[in-house]
Structure 1
């Protein structure tokens, strides 16, 4: 008892009183005297083991909180539209991972409307998207402007034409994404009446659209950044149709989040926050 008092910086009488109070509260005798010595009863041994387990659990909670606070652990569930996942998100993650290599990261690739719904509903921490979301409860940070152009394969009949109008486009297939994809909204803006008038090949992913155009299956509306290599080496040709510009941006909920998301958001390129 005296050694316990010394380790707790208390008097022996104070420790004895605390033990008596605990015994009264539990309705158990925890200590018994054997001559000049004090030892645990059977009930005392059981309670002591349980108390040690509880102390270790509390210390584990404190350690977990410390690790999360210092980003020695934690996770980030982030969404990305196809264009963002292939061309914009990797550089953002590289900077984050270099500073916080222990954080677990999972990326979910979907179109922008679906990602906005998942972030707003709390399924995703944040997302990097193309275009606007229409969700007022989300905060958006502009990251980079992106150009969307109309292209065909170098050997396609439309390649090299000085003027491409509705009559010329109507003779060829349009290769596009699924309805609801932001890229299709832009395609409709760019092509106007030609968008509905032409035959379509619908593909579910940006890479599939690019591959189909390279194979000469038709014309497509694609982000310039996603086909820069094919344009540079002449495999794809840009048609003389006005380009559209859009923003690649990051979105999140307005409420304060955990340390992992807050740190990822802090490391994004600086830009004004606007309503999504």
Structure 2
């Protein structure tokens, strides 16, 4: 029978490329690493590594075995967590992926409330591009993912998490600081700082302007950036005006660094989606996190996008 500690050593050595680095990572001696790898290779009847000086590289068999070993470790960990949950304990590690600016601002306080309720759970929020976060979900490296675009995938189920408003932001030196809203046509005379096409913010802005027969191509775009924080910073510096999620912009607005407005008769909003991998069994921590979200009023709407 395979020993999960041997699997842990193998995965660490495979990912770090040296036995010495794996020993440091796992806080055991290097001879112990070598011994466990040798025992695992003997048990499996194949060489898992090719040695080249101090560095090691996976053999063909090792490349094949690595995802299997990771899956076995996840199953062992999940079994331990579920058995502990049967005793009334909620423990484990909840890893959440996030690709939206809104999620970066919204998830930390939600996660803090969850940890406060279940102190035996450790939590990690991994932030990356939308494609990367969904890739992590399909690879089972995160339990849940939050995104502004529900990209169809046969293994992914999406549920509505929250609607977020998009606002127009301007520098505090701008003449519009005394206004609460402007007509969309007034944007044609301004320098715009925009998100990249395809982002939730861009799509909300594009749809709002289209209702007034204004194309994004008609705007005087001076900078296109990949995140809302860069837009807020550029607006603070007086480079132009821009659009950002309200949750991301309101802190700088409260500090008096920028001013927020709406567009007259052109509401802007987008949906934050929560994604689950239907092929990945939920952990006890994940199930309790979903339960808390429902208690707080999230995840009420019908699932979609699968």
Match of 1:227? 249
* Shift in Å, 1:150: 1.9
Aligned to 1:266: 291
Cα distance change of structure 1 residues 209 and 158 upon mapping to structure 2, 3 Å threshold? same
Q: CA deviation at 1:77?
A: 2.0
2:216 pairs with one of 189, 192, 195: 195
TM-score, with structure 1 as normaliser: 0.64
Task: Name 1:134's counterpart in structure 2.
Answer: 152
Summarize the alignment of residues 148-163 of structure 1 with structure 2, pairs less than 5 Å apart: 148-157=166-175, 159-160=177-178, 163=182
Q: Which residue of 2 aligns with 1:248?
A: 272
Aligned partner (choices 150, 163, 174) of residue 145 of structure 1 = 163
CA offsets, 1:82-101, max 9 Å, x none? Answer: 43333321232123212333
Secondary structure of 1:124's counterpart equals coil
Aligned to 2:19: none
Structure 2 gaps, min length 5? 1-74
Displacement of 1:257 in angstroms is 2.2
For residue 274 of structure 1, give the secondary structure of its aligned residue in structure 2: coil
CA distance in 2, matches of 1:63, 1:152: 49
Structure 1 or 2, whichever has the larger Rg, is: 1
What residue is the counterpart of 1:93 in the other structure? Answer: 111
Report SS of the residue matched to 1:133. Answer: coil
Measured after TM superposition, the shift of residue 231 of structure 1 is 3.9
How far apart are residue 63 of structure 1 and its match? 10
Secondary structure, in 3 states, of the residue corresponding to 2:272?
Answer: strand
Per-residue CA deviations over 1:50-83 (Å, capped at 9, x if unaligned) read: xxxxxxxxxxx99994455326653222111343
CA distance in 2 between partners of 1:156 and 1:264 (Å): 43
- Partner Cα distance (1:132, 1:65) in 2: 30
Please list the CA deviations of residues 90-143 of structure 1 after superposition, one character each: whole Å capped at 9, or x if unmatched.
232123212333333221113445433432443322112335333454223333
CA shift, 1:174, in A, is: 1.8
Please give the alpha-carbon distance, in whole angstroms, between the structure 1 residues aligned to 2:134 and 2:252: 31
Counterparts of 2:247 and 2:209, CA distance in 1: 20
Partner in structure 2 of residue 47 of structure 1: none
Q: Deviations over 1:3-27 (max 9, x none)?
A: xxxxxxxxxxxxxxxxxxxxxxxxx
SS at match of 2:223: strand
What is the number of equivalent residue pairs in this alignment? 215
